[in-house]
């Protein structure tokens, strides 16, 4: 892929790192919102080479991780029905529910399939009208347009055997929830570039102004993150609190208005529970009344499910950024990517999986930015 190596240049990384050290005079806490950013920061050891006192806090930025246990249990309940073909992105199959996960159900004979687009699920429904085809619509604003278009296309085709189980979450309300916490120590945010590619950054401007926190829209490569950190620290050191855009090659202030139109057509904003965090008002999407016939939860009547979290898992504290994976006594022992106790160990964007895959088992040892690949 063109224009990837340019954003992993070790020499440029060292130059940015020197500038970060030069401008940092105080301790600051920066939270990256996106799990993809967390993965890069941990894998490349960026957090280990920052100035003393400049701390990266890993936020609830993995949509797989924050999908509430209740939704996973609903997915499992639907998938066990003999008439259902349950479709999902692959990383959701291993997220543990109260009693099982989708992959285990597949192994026991349930018709659970991995797809790479919700349109694949629409195609399956069109080709086999005898099956009830359900797509697990999970994600931030990034995946919402594609899921909205799948519903619109299903209506155009007159499909009565297609539905979606919706578990969409929205980033700005989660940020304000973090900032409203009385124990919050976050001084600035690195906003998720892919979310802003869809939604723009206008929603972040009132947050920066009200809470006096810099917000820098940032990409996902090492140089993106180092430059985003530098921009955030410069604001903090000069007393500014604005929204800035580091990810200029992909993000505009107004975002993708066609994608936003699709979201507004199919979904409406509602309150949403985040796994390990709790309910955040106005932080999710559900199907609008005009598209209620495509609501899998309603179609299969799975609203009365009782959930049971694993008491040994501290995912909530990790998702809120108050603890690190290495603070958990289960980390790397009873909880690994092969046998996860909680969602943050499942997806590569989860903080626990990122730490585990980077070989972090205790206090992190200094890394070298020059090792970036």
List pLDDT tens digits, range 335-363.
998 888 888 898 878 999 999 999 998 55
Query: How far is it, in rounded angstroms, from Cα 169 to Cα 84?
Result: 25
pLDDT tens digit sequence for 32-71: 989 999 999 999 999 999 999 999 999 887 888 889 889 9
pLDDT at 364 over 70: no
How would residue 327 be classed by pLDDT, with cut points 50, 70 and 90? very high
C-alpha angle with apex 270: 133 to 317, nearest 5 degrees?
95
Q: Which two tokens stand for residue 97?
A: 């529910």
What's the pLDDT band for 370 if we cut at 50, 70, 90?
very low
Arithmetic mean of pLDDT over the chain: 92
Buried b / exposed e over 338-364, threshold 16 CB at 10 Å, is eebbbbbbbbbbbbbbbbbebebeeeb
Lowest mean pLDDT segment, chosen from 6-10, 286-290, 306-310:
306-310
Rounded Cα gap, residues 348 and 356, in angstroms: 10
Tokens of 223: 């140089």
Q: What does the block give as tokens for 47?
A: 């957090």
The region of weakest confidence among 43-52, 183-192, 294-303, 315-324 is 315-324
Between CA 257 and CA 139 the distance in angstroms is: 19
First to last CA, the chain: 14
Q: Is the pLDDT of residue 1 over 80?
A: no
Do residues 322 and 58 touch, judged by C-beta distance below 8 A? no
Q: Which long-range contacts (CB under 8 A, 24 or more apart) does 81-84 make?
A: 81/132, 81/300, 83/131, 83/132, 84/110, 84/111, 84/131, 84/132, 84/133, 84/134, 84/300
Rg (CA), the chain: 21
Between β-strands 188-192 and 132-139, what pairing exists: parallel, antiparallel or unpaired? unpaired
pLDDT of residue 7: 84
Beta bridge partners of 243: 215
Distance (Å, whole) CA 208 – CA 215: 6
Say whether pLDDT at 292 is over 60.
Answer: yes
Quick check: 371 pLDDT over 60?
no
- Domains of the chain: residue spans and CATH: 1-308 (3.40.50.11740)
Q: What percent of the chain has pLDDT over 90?
A: 75
User: Are residues 230 and 20 in contact, defined by beta-carbon separation less than 8 angstroms?
Assistant: yes
Q: Where are the beta strands (DSSP E) in 47-187?
A: 54-58, 84-88, 112-114, 132-139, 162-169
Model confidence at 321, pLDDT cuts 50, 70, 90, reads confident
Of 25, 27, 61, 26, residue with least CA distance to 42: 61
Phi and psi at residue 137, to the nearest 5°: -90, 90
Of 225 and 64, the one with more pLDDT: 225
User: Whole-model pTM above 0.85?
Assistant: yes
DSSP designation for 366:
P
The pLDDT assigned to 363 comes to: 54
Confidence of residue 311 (pLDDT cuts 50, 70, 90): confident
Strand partners, 167: 138
- Tell me which residue has tokens 């939860």: 297
**pLDDT tens-place string over residues 115-129:** 999 999 999 999 999
- Residue 127's Cβ-count burial label (10 Å; 0-12, 13-18, 19+) is exposed
Give me 124's structure tokens: 């399956």
């Amino acid at each position: 892929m063109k224009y990837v190596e340019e954003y992993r240049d070790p020499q440029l990384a060292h130059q940015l790192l020197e500038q970060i050290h030069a401008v940092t005079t105080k301790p600051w806490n920066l939270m990256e919102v996106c799990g993809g950013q967390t993965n890069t920061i941990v894998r490349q050891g960026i957090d280990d080479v920052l100035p003393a006192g400049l701390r990266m806090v890993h936020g609830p930025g993995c949509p797989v991780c924050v999908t509430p246990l209740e939704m996973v249990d609903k997915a499992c309940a639907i998938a066990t029905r003999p008439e259902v073909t349950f479709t999902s992105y692959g990383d959701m199959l291993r997220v543990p529910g109260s009693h099982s996960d989708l992959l285990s159900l597949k192994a026991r004979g349930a018709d659970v399939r991995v797809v790479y687009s919700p349109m694949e699920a629409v195609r399956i429904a069109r080709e086999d009208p005898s099956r009830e085809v359900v797509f697990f619509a999970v994600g931030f604003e990034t995946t919402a347009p594609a899921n909205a278009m799948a519903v619109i296309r299903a209506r155009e085709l007159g499909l009565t055997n297609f539905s979606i189980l919706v578990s969409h979450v929205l980033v700005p309300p989660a940020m304000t929830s973090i900032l409203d916490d009385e124990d919050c120590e976050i001084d600035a945010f690195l906003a998720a570039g892919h979310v802003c590619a869809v939604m723009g950054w206008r929603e972040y401007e009132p947050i920066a102004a009200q809470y006096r926190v810099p917000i820098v829209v940032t990409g996902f490569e090492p140089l993106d993150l180092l430059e985003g950190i530098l921009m955030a620290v410069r604001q903090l050191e000069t007393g500014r609190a604005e929204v800035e855009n580091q990810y200029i090659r992909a993000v505009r202030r107004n975002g993708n208005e066609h994608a936003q139109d699709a979201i507004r057509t199919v979904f409406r904003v509602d309150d949403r529970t985040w796994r390990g965090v709790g309910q955040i008002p106005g932080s999710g999407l559900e199907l609008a009344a005009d598209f209620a016939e495509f609501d899998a939860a309603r179609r299969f009547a799975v609203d009365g499910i009782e959930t049971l979290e694993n008491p040994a898992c501290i995912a909530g504290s990790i998702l809120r950024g108050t603890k690190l994976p290495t603070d958990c006594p289960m980390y790397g022992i009873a909880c690994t990517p092969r046998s996860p106790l909680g969602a943050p160990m499942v997806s590569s964007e989860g903080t626990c999986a990122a730490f585990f895959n980077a070989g972090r088992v205790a206090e992190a040892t200094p890394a070298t930015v020059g090792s970036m690949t």
